[in-house]
Amino acid sequence: MTQTLDLRTGRTVWEIDPLAPSAFSAPQGGFSTDVLIVGAGITGAFIAERLARAGRTVVVLDRHAPQKASTSASTALLQWEIDTPMLGLEDRLGFETAAAIYRRSVDAVREIGALVGPHAALCRFDWRDTLYLSGNELDPADLREERRLRAHAGIHGDYLEQFELRGRFGFDREAALLYGGSAQVNPVRLARLMLDRAIAHGARVISPTLVTRYDCGLQGVTVGTEDGAEIGAQVLILANGYEMPDFVPAGRHEIVSTWAVATVPQTPGVVWPQAPLVWEAADPYCYMRATADGRIIIGGEDEPITDAARRDALSAAKAQTLQGKLKGFVPDADLALDAVWTGFFGATDDGLPMIGPVPGQPNCYAAFGYGGNGITFSAMAAGILATLLAGGTDPATEWFAVDR
């Protein structure tokens, strides 16, 4: 069975500038396809676009309307920097693997930019630097070592002393790392673009429909839906985010609640110079970005809460806390809010996604892009799975193994 969750509540910032809703019909009877993807959010959309473009017959199912679940709750900081700093990954996996993962993440953000291409304005895609502030997890000395490791891996950026950080960006922290190569986007518009491209290549999207039964075998897979349809496929890809079936190993995975707010548009000159993506090496941590129309999004305050009612009851208090943090970062900001929302997201203890074959389930693959840079991992998943389905190999299947 698949776990179903009340994934998010509140009004997200993306609903201020909404897209017209998509209309898809529920399945009737039975049929078969080459690749069946469960999940029509950003991960499923990236995978569907990649595989349909390669000539595969693709069907995408989702119990939600496309982009209406976790994708719409994303704050869409397209970072190549991973929740676990390279220092931490080196301790766990060794330098060579940690460096390879970080380089792969840098490439993934570049690939997203290339995919968006001439549609950057439509998706509100903009290249951004990132500003990683010292905190209670990494102090200035740790940040210096983090920069040294990144440089050894071929990823170069700047270490900012307190006076440089204050002078350039107005933030009063002991130190920070400044790196290029990240981006920001409207996640709903990006997912729609990818899904529309998949459809243009022949993919079919069926939504809303709930998958209630999975049967994975050596000859292929069959799923059953709540409305009685049966769909056969050569390959099943699970891209349904935090609503994973119970046969997927979840020892490294946990559900966490998070909160975010978006302000009214700020007057010119209030947003920090060049508007890099801001996040901090702290627990709990917060992060900030600006939107194309001058709003400030700030989020974080994560807690290990899996009860939606309890999560929702904290929204007002969490919004006030985030407003207070914003005031500390940007004293002149207008703290009036246009959007407040909360949702679940998945996290792993090493900050890495779960991508690759599902143990014990033939012809079944997982694509769970967990963590703070889930969209980046989603793009990685599309490339990794395309390689595997074409008969190739990819070292990332070991780094991101579902049962690691």
Cis peptide before 304 (omega within 30 of 0): no
Closest listed residue to residue 326, CA positions, set 284, 302, 296: 296
Task: Report the alpha-carbon distance of residue 293 to residue 122 in Å, rounded.
Answer: 13
**Regions of the chain short of the pLDDT cut 70:** 1-8, 18-28, 66-69, 242
* Residue 80, φ and ψ in degrees, nearest 5: -90, -20
338's tokens: 């246009």
Distance CA 124, CA 184 (A): 8
0.85 surpassed by pTM? yes
Helix %, strand %, coil % for the chain, to 5? 35, 30, 40
- Check residue 116 and give its pLDDT: 97
CA dist 50 and 55 (Å) reads 9
The whole-number pLDDT of residue 373 equals 84
Structure confidence at residue 344 (pLDDT): 85
Q: Where are the beta strands (DSSP E) in 148-202?
A: 158-161, 175-184
Element spanning 173, H or E: none
Per residue in 282-293, pLDDT (tens digit) is: 988 899 999 999
Helix (H, G, I), strand (E, B), or coil: what is residue 270?
coil
Phi-psi group of 15: left, alpha or beta (phi > 0 → left; psi -120 to 50 → alpha; rest → beta):
alpha
Coil, helix or strand at residue 206: strand
